[in-house]
Amino acid sequence: MSERTRPDGEGFVDAADEALRGAYDPPMSIESYVDRVLERPTAAASGAGYVLAAIESQGTREVRERGETLDRYRFFDDPANDGEHAVLGNTRALNAFVDDLRAAATGRGNDETIVWIDGPTATGKSEFKRCLINGLRAFSKTDAGRRYTVEWNVTGAGAGGGGGAGAASLSYGDGGDTGAWYRSPVQTHPLSVFPEPVRESVADAVDGDAYPIAADVELDPFSREAYDHLESTYREQGRRDLFSAITDRDHLRVTSYVVDVGRGIGVLHAEDDGTPKERLVGSWMGGMLRELDSRGRKNPQAFSYDGVLSQGNGVATVVEDASQHADLLRRLLNVPDERRVKLDKGIGMDLDTQLIVISNPDLDAELDRHAERGDADPLKALKRRLSKHEFRYLTNRRLEARLLRREIAGATAAGGATVEGDAGPNGAASGGPGVGAAAGGGDADDAGSDPGVAPLSVDVRESDGSVAEREIAPHAIGAAALYAVVTRLDADDLPGDLDLIETAELYETGEVGRGDDAVTVADVDLAPGDGRNGIPVTYARDAVADLLATTADRHHPELPVERVVTPTDVLDAMADGLADAPLFSRAEVAEFEGRRGAVATRVRERQREDVIDAMLAEETVSTETVAEYVEHVYAWDDEDPTTRGREDEAPDPLVMKVFETETLGRFDEGDYRGTEPGRDVEQFRRKRVIRGLTQYAWRNRDDAFSVDDVDLAEVPELKAVIDANELADVKRRFPDLDPAAWPDPPADTETERVKSETIDRLCERGYSPASAELTSRAVMEQVRDEWPEVDGGRVGDDPDDGVGQNGGESPWD
């Protein structure tokens, strides 16, 4: 067993040593620091430049949001914390925030910008703050992201010339330790030690195109006290190398620090109080003022640098719930402009920090209080400096499902390699949704699963203190996510002629199928207000949490069905609780209740697909079989196959007939003359097969596109055949099946055998025996009324569609 994992006290201490060993550089001289800056300018980057460098250090990945493909910075997936505080969605707002940082870092006229993150509750603003802190902390522990400040020790200054008294004067008010090192309380940049002309020369020597260095800041007041004492002492001694004497390793050293709250990151919370100056920079301490009074003025050593700007100097300052600190916003106006604040009359402090304010929409109202005064509006200058980035509720069901899983069980939300939104709403579980996380464990959101489909297991503590496992069934998370998403859509401004469910699919996948065509985001205008209102994820989380805390009123002689939370349970709980939730108006309650039905219908469709696919697992058509059929159809349609390179691939009429009659169940003997196709078969081959493949090729064309490279399983018209399992197929395969007997099938019947095999297959695909029992029962209850009408063709067939005579809607339609 390694030292890192040895389960004893010494092993854990060794692990702690290892964790800290690489987080800091040893103290260095000012000369060594300048060498480091010349080699790696990020070491002296401005606050905005440093935040930008941290974000860009993680690279980007492609995501799909609002139907568009975007580049997203991985930094906001919270990789430093295993995705615990990943910001889901809102990629456009995050990218615009990074653009602001880049403009501020390079000084392109945006130096005065105050970044404003705005949006309703539960849209990820708090996660943004936590992710920012996590990422900056982790970056500062890397060699590429080291952040530096200075420490002072005036011991020995002017030895033999009265240095003792001076040594005692440098302290934090406790009398001092003549051998102590005192760090700058506001993380002052080490370059600020140099005179201004030299700082500018260093800046000119640095290749800082990407992250310009912070060369325009002066020493903080505390450090200035030490510097002035050393300068005075050595000047009185007549030292010619005055700067070298002041910055000698015995007096000054450059040290690295880990960026964190209070040390490079200032965070002002809603509950913080005090005078504006106390909240911004800190306060004077009366007793220490008397002890440290110096030359008839206040001594900066008697100042408590615990204000948000002081703590955030060097990196970033965050004002949470900005509407609670509206009185401070106007006082922040000159900070980005002048980069300076005052501790007191005559004592100022240079600042280098990226200002970020976070608020709910109520700040808008606060800023507009005097809007009717036009140019005389006292807040106009502030509003000009604020760069607003709006966070909205997610309109992507898959992202909402990931967020909901995290809210319910602490499941990690960021799959770095996963493309967000790469499946349709409530994708079928037949792809293998994976097993659920136990007691807040991991997520099933890998590259091959859908977090809305995958089940989730959670350990719940009972009233007697015991712990019981509860299952959130497949599709339950997806049902809650889809319901929340459709409430966030503007029903009066849906794109094109799409309904709510289709619009949700458009947001998630970028297109919605319409027969042989597809509606894409480029074809419609998305409603500008989508995502600003609706059911927040916290409401859905609480509804599921209440269900987990109780057992359902259902029983089974062998299975714990009462411990399963089904999609229906979730939708009912969310809809039933709307009227009692103070979060929603009466109009919203009525509107949201009315949207439940469409979601329930979509979820039932997905459950039905799962069950029928499991029943017909052995009957599924392979991709190879479809590919062979397509090859024969193309050869059949080509009058001269040799021109297509098929001289050895003459069409086999029997292969095509068998596929069309037995595999598809689309035609019968009467549609052929021996093996020669009749008119309807010919029309089917040309209209559905060839045209369908050609349309897919056209939609996905590029310079390198070749039909020979097409993955048939990805062509919608062909995928429908590969995946097609419908009720008519079930009845044709199992003619003696009785859906009414499904709950308790008689022994030694086809119903009993099919049910047993179906339950086993569902369990292989992520269901538990209990959730498989409940889901299959619900589906078979739905099909009971349809069963007598199923005649071996497809349910819902249009006999006058001019293609085929067997009845039923072909999956090629």
Give me the half-sphere count of Cα atoms (radius 13 Å) on the Cβ side of residue 503: 25
Q: What is the four-CA torsion angle of 250, 255, 261, 262, rounded to 10 degrees?
A: 20
In angstroms, the CA 223 to CA 423 distance is 57
Percentage of the residues of the chain whose pLDDT score is greater than 70: 79
Q: With 80 as the cut, is the pLDDT of residue 488 above it?
A: yes
The arithmetic mean of pLDDT across residues 150-160, rounded, is 77
In angstroms, the CA 662 to CA 737 distance is 20
Q: What's the pLDDT score for residue 698?
A: 60
* Number of Cβ atoms within 10 Å of the Cβ of 712: 18
Among the residue ranges 161-165, 453-457, 526-530, 743-747, the one predicted with the least confidence is: 161-165
| Cα–Cα separations (whole angstroms), residue 724 to 664, 721, 732, 764 | 9, 5, 14, 20
Q: What's the pLDDT score for residue 795?
A: 38
Among the residue ranges 161-165, 322-326, 490-494, 584-588, the one predicted with the least confidence is: 161-165
Burial (Cβ within 10 Å: 0-12, 13-18, ≥19) of residue 756: exposed
The arithmetic mean of pLDDT across residues 586-594, rounded, is 96
Q: What's the pLDDT score for residue 511?
A: 86
- Name the residue with higher pLDDT: 348 or 698: 348
**Residues making up the chain, counted from first to last:** 813
Q: Which of the 8 DSSP states describes residue 142?
A: S
Q: With 50 as the cut, is the pLDDT of residue 605 above it?
A: yes
The arithmetic mean of pLDDT across residues 787-804, rounded, is 49
Judge whether 425 and 508 are in contact, CB under 8 Å. yes
Q: With 80 as the cut, is the pLDDT of residue 416 above it?
A: no
E strands present in 544-644: 564-565
Q: Which two tokens stand for residue 766?
A: 């992520």
pLDDT band per the 50, 70, 90 thresholds, residue 419: very low
The arithmetic mean of pLDDT across residues 258-270, rounded, is 94
Q: What's the pLDDT score for residue 280?
A: 92
Q: What's the pLDDT score for residue 289?
A: 77
Q: With 70 as the cut, is the pLDDT of residue 2 above it?
A: no
Q: For residue 261, give the 3-state DSSP assignment.
A: strand
Q: What is the DSSP string of 524-545?
A: S---TTTTSSS--HHHHHHHHH
Judge whether 695 and 516 are in contact, CB under 8 Å. yes
Burial (Cβ within 10 Å: 0-12, 13-18, ≥19) of residue 461: exposed
Whether pTM > 0.85 for this model: the answer is: no
> Phi/psi at 594 (nearest 5 deg)?
-70, -15
In angstroms, the CA 419 to CA 236 distance is 67
pLDDT in tens, 566-581: 999 999 999 999 999 9
- Name the residue with higher pLDDT: 69 or 713: 69
Q: To which H or E segment does residue 469 belong?
A: strand 467-472
In angstroms, the CA 433 to CA 765 distance is 6
* Amino acid identity, position 283: S
**Alpha helices, DSSP H only, in 388-470?**
397-409
In our burial notation (b when 16+ CB lie closer than 10 A, e otherwise), range 668-685 reads: eeebbeeeebeebbeebb
The arithmetic mean of pLDDT across residues 200-224, rounded, is 84
- Name the residue with higher pLDDT: 704 or 124: 124
Among the residue ranges 108-117, 208-217, 229-238, 422-431, the one predicted with the least confidence is: 422-431
Q: What's the pLDDT score for residue 442?
A: 33
The arithmetic mean of pLDDT across residues 166-173, rounded, is 52
Q: With 80 as the cut, is the pLDDT of residue 682 above it?
A: yes
Q: Which two tokens stand for residue 721?
A: 């055949």
Q: Which two tokens stand for residue 101?
A: 């940082």
The answer to whether the Cα torsion of 675, 678, 682, 683 is positive or negative is: negative
Q: With 80 as the cut, is the pLDDT of residue 787 above it?
A: yes
